[in-house]
Structures are given as C-alpha cells and as structure tokens.
Chains A and B, each alone.
Chain A
Amino acid sequence: MAKTPITLKVNGKPVDGLVEPRTLLIHFLREQLNLTGPHIGCDTSHCGACTVDLNGKSVKSCTMFAVQANGADVLTIEGMAAPDGTLHALQEGFREMHGLQCGYCTPGMIMRGYRLLKENPNPSEDEIRFGISGNLCRCTGYQNIVKAIQYAAAKLAGAPVKEAAE
C-alpha cells in the first residue's frame, strides 16, 4: 500500500514518518518510534490504555490514523519525566499512592491525568472520577488512582501532599 510522509513533534522532538494511510497512531508510536509506553487494550476506544496527549487534548491513539497526526504535537508517557530523570508529579503520585498494579493502564491513565489537571488543576474527587472515566483499570478499583491524581494536583500546586496509600 502506498505510504504517506508525515512530520510531527513527539515528546518535544521533531519526527518524520512514512505510513500507510490506515496505520493507526498507536502502531506508529509503538512500532515505528519504539514508544511502547502507550498500550492497546480494547481496539474500540473504550479502555484508554493508548491515551496520549495531542495538541493539548487527551487522544486515544488507537482511534486515530497516524496521518491525522501530521503536524501535531504529541506527548506520550515517555516524555513525562524531566530530562534529568526526575519523575513528573503524576508518576510520583501513582507510585506513592499505589495507583497501579499490573501497570498496563498506567501510561494512559497518567496521560489522561496530565490533561485533566491542565484543564482543572484542583479537581474534586467526583471530577477526577468523571475525568478518568474513559480509561479502564482492571486491577486497582480506581480508589488509589484518584488519590494519585489528588497527590499530583497538590504537589503541582505547591501544597503539602497528604495521606499515604491505605
């Protein structure tokens, strides 16, 4: 199948790619760029394991063609830690609050949390629950994910972080 050239920015770096028109963004990221943080969990846009940030929005990268990302600015889990390796507040929060178990939903969940906190830096518990309802987790029961996002919200706001995981 004929391939189309695309140019985009991924985790702050310019990237060129050559993709079939039908190549999904998730496959482009995982297989051509070796960014295997975003995962595939359902193929139907329900689970959110493939969530990345694209032009300031949370996007399920299994439901977007790579060609549609031409010119876009994409942030994946691999771009979350600081260049010196310091974890982002969300990454730290997920570990501190035991917000993950098998780790499969975690990259998508953190990327969704990232955009959620940009949109609403001080969300209530209900707002967090609603805000991550496009991302499924089979292990944690969400309670500690909510706490992880609260932890990150507090940390990003410079407030003292409270309460360890149960």
Chain B
Amino acid sequence: MNDMTPSQAERAEKLQGMGCKRKRVEDIRFVQGKGNYVDDLKLPGMLYGDFTRSPYGHARIKKIDATKAKAVPGVLAVLTAADLKPLSLHYMPTLAGDVAAVLAEEKVLYQNQEVAFVIAEDRYAAADAAELVEVEYEALPVLVDPFKAMAPDAPVLREDIKDKTDGAHGKRKHYNHIFAWEIGDKEATDQAFKKAEVTIKELISYQRVHPCPLETCQCVASFDKIRGELTLWGTFQAPHVIRTVASLISKIPEHKIHVIAPDIGGGFGNKVGAYPGYICAVVASIVTGRPVKWVEDRIENLSTTSFARDYHMTTEIAATKDGKVTGLRVHVLADHGAFDACADPSKWPAGFFNIVTGSYDFPVAHCAVDGVYTNKAPGGVAYRCSFRVTEAAYCIERAMDILAQKLGMDPAELRMKNLVRKEQFPYQSALGWEYDSGDYHAAMQKAMDTVGYQKLRAEQKAKQESFRRGETRELMGIGVIFFTEIVGAGPSRNCDILGIAMFDSAEIRIHPTGAVIARMGTKSQGQGHETTYAQIIATELGLPADDITIEEGNTDTAPYGLGTYGSRSTPTAGAATAMAARKIKAKAQMIAADLLEVSEYDLEWDVDRFRVKGNPERFKTMKELAWAAYNRVPKGLEPGLEAVNYYDPPNMTYPFGAYICVVDVDVDTGVTKVRRFYALDDCGTRINPMIIEGQIHGGLTEAFGIAMGQEIRYDEVGNVTGPSFMDYFMPTAVETPKWETDWTTTPSPHHPIGAKGVGESPNVGGVPCFANAVNDAFKFLGSTHIPMPHDHWRTWMAADKLGLHG
C-alpha cells in the first residue's frame, strides 16, 4: 500500500456492494419501454389461443359443438377434453397432490372454468371463435359455502375421486373433504384451557383475494417437430419446476424442454403454479407445428388462476388474568375451491400456518386444519407471503387484540408482556419451529417511541369522550401488531416440491478481465435481483457490481433452483451466491499465494485484494487474480475461475417487525382514512436499503388493498362477482397512505451473510395492522371483531350494527 492507494472506504464504495443504495440495473431497459415480457414476444407463424369458459358454477356438460367456431376465418383448431384425453392431458397433477382439469370433461366445477381452447391466426379471431363454441350444460346444485361442504347432503363435487378415502395427506372425512392436518400437543393445550383464568374464542375469517399482478399469466409454446424439442416462454416464478412438470406431463425428455421466463410484470404468488393455458398452448403447438401464444385477460386472471386465502380460523387463547398467554388453539376450515392447487411444499398442506403462535411465548398450542372443495376457482397460493403465513399473522394478531380487550389491557402492553425474549433465541415454538434470531422488545419499544404511542392513546381517549358527548362523528383507531415471518423455504429435511428439495443455486463465472456473469435458480418479478445479487458478489469478491451480469430465468443456462416466492430468493439463492463466491475466493487466494510467493495463511483479504499480512504493499487484486486464473495457475490447480453452489438452508429465516397504524373513521359514511402508518422491519443484514424500502412500500400497499377492500366474492349460484378492476379494489395513488419505514438489524445466525428476506413482511404485518386499527376504533363501543375487508360499506354496517346511526 502506498500513498496512491485509495483508502479501504474509497475502494469499498466503488464496488457498490452490500449495504449501499445501488441504483437498479434493470431500470435502464424498463424506463425506455425495452423490457422483454412474454406478450412482447413475436415469432414467425405464431398463433393465438383463447378459452371458451363455463358460465356455470357447477354443471354437467351434455354436448360441445365447435362447428361454428371452426368456421371462423383464421381458426385452425378447437381443443376439448376429448382431444386431450387420449394423451392423458385432460387432467394435470397439482403441486398439492391432487389433479386439476385442463379442459373440463364431464362437469364444470366453477365459473369460468376452461372448457375449450380455440387456436387461431390472431387474437381477435380466437376470441370471436371462443364465443361461438356451443356447449350444452345441465346445471347442478352449487356449493359455495365451505361450512356446508361436509354436510351429509352436500352436492358431490369431485366425481373423479368421490370414492377415494385417502387423499394426498391421509384420510378424507367426506367426499368434499381434501385433507386434515394437525400439529401441536392437543392434550396439553386442552389442559391449559381447562385451567385458564381467561379465554377468548373468535371465528376469524380471511376472505378470498387474488394476487393480481399487473401483467396477467401468459406463455408462448413452440414445439420443434424435427428436433423433438419444446421451448416454453412464460410468466414463471419457478421456471425450473415448470420444466420438470412439463417433462413429467408431456413425456418430452427434460433436456429437450427449454423453459424461459423473461421479464415478469409482477408475480406475488400468482405465477408459481401451472395452468391449463400452458398445457393447451403446448398441445396446440404440437398439433399445429407452429408457436402458440396464450395470454389471459384480467377477468380470467382474477376468476381462474390462483386465488389466495379463504381461510376460516376459529381461534382460542387461554391466558392468566394478568395477561400471560398460556395456550393457543386454532381450527381452520380451508376453502381450496374445486381442485387442490395450493402451491405449498409437499409435506405442508396448510403451508407454514403453524407459525400461528406468532411472536409470543405460548407454552402450548394445538392447530388443526381441514381442507374442503367448493365450486370456486382452485388455488390457495401465497399472495405476497410465505405459505399461509399472512393468514397466521392475521389470526394471531386479531386474537391478541381481542384478548387485550377482554383483559382490559392495552394491546401493546399485552404484546410486550408475551413477546419472545431476546435470550430465548434460538426459540423453539410450541408448534415446532426454531426461530433463528430476534430482539422483539427492542423493536416494539422503538416503534412505540417513534410514533409517540402513549400520546396517541391519550388523544384517542379524548376523542372517544367527545364522540360520546356528540361533539364528533369521527372515531380514532390505533392498530398495533408484531409479526414474525417464516421464509426461505427451505431445508431439504422438511421442504420439497414434487419431491425436489427446496434448495436454490448460484453459478458464478469470472472472466479473464475480472468481469463476471452469474446465474441463479430464482427468478425476479420486480424484486431487483440483477442489482442485489451483484452487490453480494461485489462485496464477497471485491469486483465492482457494475462489472457483474446477473441472469435468471433461462433453464438451459441457469443452475436448477426452485424459484422466487415465499421471500426465498435472499435466504436461499442469496446464500448460494455468497457460498459460490467464497469458493472462488478460496481459489483466488491459492493463486495469490503462488504469485506473491507466500503461504496462503500469510495472506489477508482487504476489500478487493489479498495482501501479505504485515506487508500491505504486496498484494494482488481480484482483477489481477482473475487474469492469472486463465494465465498462470499454481501447479495442480485447474485453470479458470468459476464456482457453483446448491444451497440447502439449515433452517428457515424469521424476519419480524412492529407496525403501528392510526386511522380516523367517519361513522356516518364508513370512510376510513389512514392518518399514519409506521413500519419497523428487521430483515437481518440489509443488502440494498433502497430496494428494501421499495419492497416495504409495495407490500404495505398490497396489504392496504386486502385489508380495506379486496375480495373475490361468489353469489349463491356460484357466479364470481366483480372479477375486474371495476370492482376488485386496486388502490390508486390517491387512496394509498404514505408510509413511514424504519428498521432494526438482527442478522440471521445461520445465513452466510445474515440476510433474512423482506419482500413479504409488509403484507404479513400490514394486513392485521389495518384490521386492528379499524377494530380498535370501534371496540370502546363493545365491538369485538369486525371482519375484513374494511371497505366503507362494511364499516358503515359495523357502525350501524352498534346502533351509531340513531
């Protein structure tokens, strides 16, 4: 080192590594309209597919006549179940161990279910012809209420499996029953309730919603008959899994299937699974010998491809009268729709719902889940959350508020009293998880101090008094929550999808000039992977992030991975990236030792170089070592500088946070204004604070949408009402509150860089926070639980029920 050598800080800054607010590399193309999304793809001779869908919620198909449709100029073919059946493709396996219809064979089981697939020269002709496919139906009794699914006289929905007594997860109790799953110590929990000084019980329902990315699900399939190869471009959050599934279903060898996920316009869980459109496009391409594009429209998206939630959670807490929780008991009725198409790891039919003890030290707990079929679209995906985690967070956070109300305690005080203590980590939860790290009390205290919690409560009290005196018609609500997420699925010992362990991967290749290409098994849908993975490598290897290209989504070139959902990219592929970089660094150290003629152990790492201990002027930069790797390597060492890592995480990661929300509710209109929303998140090591903040803003906005208005509703005959942006609540910039964000940092002890993942925390914490705020506004009037969504009408109804309208 000499006077000309830039300081460590200067060199580190140049790298744009971890911890800096690096601007996103993706943005250069996106702000110029040069993204490359599926529908942008145009291939010579490309055809378009469109579906004829069921107008009925439940009906027998008597006859399908495609004569008129086939007569439309430009129409090449119309596929029905009769065409797919000889290929055994009229049903497809789901990730949950069930099958789902690709095209309805004898019955339709939900409105807008796929019945026929029209293939035409352009999308207009396809749409015209889809309208002309004549289907004769015989209407059947419809089941939309999951609470009636297992009634003795309930209509039989799934005739294909009605006599099957065993499902993918054990015994079925009824022909409309899918699975029963339970966890925890039932006896000890029952005992805790027997002995309890105070108990609460509430049915807490989480309505059916939809992830609704701005880009719908779509694909282009192109089958090359000469080579026997299939290329499938699509909006895939998990492209490698899609390739394996495509191979298993189609029997095309996996090396002859090229799955490519280009830029994706948001996913939020909607784009994990496989849909009839993908299969029909592939079959259509095989049949016609031409590429076939399928793009769903918004109504199709909201009403068919993967809803989320529809979880009905009967929740009980036992506690002492001074507010120490002693037991938790939850029974969930899970409405999975017509097919079990949840996208959970195989062994977890209710996802990680057993995170339902939340952030609290419950000595015992028991949880049981029953999944049932109804005449609704299939799904049950994780809409911006890890598997069933937002359901669990909503459940426990509402229940804790209800308990606080019963005890006459402040909800924040009740939480403080029961939060897992810092010294208890790693913490074994009553329902089987090992929470990796946290300082919950510090986070909660920081949140309360920052918003001036006590002052807000005093203001609320004064407002309640003036409300009682008739001086105001406005109520003030304060929502407080503390959430613990479980993300980064997951360890191979308990997480797999279709038998494939849920590891993830990174392959890093250093070119002679020190420029880098790295590929991962994950797939960004807006999370900024091209920016942040490069930051990890930059810090690990001392090469500038700007010289590192990150590539994902092409299954021919990327190492196998399980994809991006459940906030798993950073915990799994982020870890793989660091581990692969460390392999490269170890080799570079050997090369450096040889060049500097010292022992490896005499070298130390210094930002972007190895230097000789005690003699910092003797060093080799990583860039020099990259050149040397292709030029002159020590004897016995292979040339080149690259590494791959498949990372099997030892545990999940457990991000957490404390959120506080203040709302003002007009009892005469039901209009609820969010005055303030403060979110403190702890996601462990922070890779790019700018991107973290962006993720939190977005997740909170989605939480706001869910809590304050989103619902996929069905009427009693199975019509899905309002599956368009006319009715489904999409917050605009006007309604969306302003977000205040904050953080603490508790690194994960088992992750190579200590990062935990963050993309979904704000949705998990945000939903109960809004719900608690609205409920908090009314509780001094005797209200216990007002269910979501808290739109103006429902809030007005809640006020009306309390007799507030005279």
Contacts and interface: CB of A to CB of B under 8 A. Distances in A.
B34 interface: yes
A164 interface: yes
A41 B39 CA distance: 11
A110 B33 CA distance: 10
A23 B123 CA distance: 11
Contacts of B195: none
B422 interface: no
Contacts of B526: 101-104, 139
A133 B525 CA distance: 23
Given A36-B37, A100-B27, A142-B733, 4 more contacts: A42-B724, A103-B26, A106-B30, A164-B21
Contacts of B694: 98, 101, 139-140, 144, 165-166
A42 B29 CA distance: 23
A130 B735 CA distance: 9
Contact of A165 (B212, B265, B690): B690
Interface stretch (A44-52, A66-74, A155-163): A44-52
Contact of A140 (B698, B726, B734): B698
A138 B268 contact: yes
Interface in A63-117: 76-78, 80-81, 87, 91-92, 94-96, 98, 100-107, 110
B528 interface: yes
A25 interface: no
Given A44-B298, A138-B702, A78 B733 contact: no
Interface string A21-55: 01100010011001111111111101101000000
B730 interface: yes
B129 interface: no
Nearest to A128: B733
A43 B298 contact: yes
Interface in B580-604: none
Q: Which of B26, B37, B726, B732 has the most CB of A within 10 A?
A: B732
A63 B298 CA distance: 15
Interface string B217-250: 0000000000000000000000000000000000
B774 to A, nearest CB: 20
30 contacts: A34-B42, A41-B214, A44-B726, A46-B725, A77-B33, A87-B31, A91-B31, A100-B27, A101-B526, A101-B527, A101-B694, A101-B698, A102-B215, A103-B29, A129-B733, A135-B733, A136-B214, A136-B730, A136-B732, A138-B698, A138-B702, A140-B697, A141-B700, A142-B736, A144-B697, A145-B733, A164-B690, A165-B690, A165-B694, A166-B689
B82 to A, nearest CB: 30
B733 A98 contact: no
B124 A77 contact: no
A20 B124 contact: yes
Contact of B24 (A20, A78, A98): A98
Contact of B33 (A36, A135, A166): A36
A87 B215 CA distance: 25
Size band of the A side of the interface?
Answer: 35 or more
Contact of B27 (A47, A94, A142): A94
A143 B695 CA distance: 11
A65 to B, nearest CB: 12
A39 B23 contact: no
B701 interface: yes
A104 B215 contact: yes
A102 B32 contact: no
B742 to A, nearest CB: 11
A6 interface: no
Interface in B668-719: 689-691, 693-695, 697-702
A76 B213 contact: no
Q: Which of B27, B298, B691 has the most CB of A within 10 A?
A: B27
A142 B702 CA distance: 11
A132 interface: yes
B688 to A, nearest CB: 10
B138 interface: no
B734 A129 contact: yes
Q: Which of B42, B124, B214, B732 has the most CB of A within 10 A?
A: B214
A59 interface: no
Nearest to A129: B733
A137 interface: yes
Contacts of B528: 101
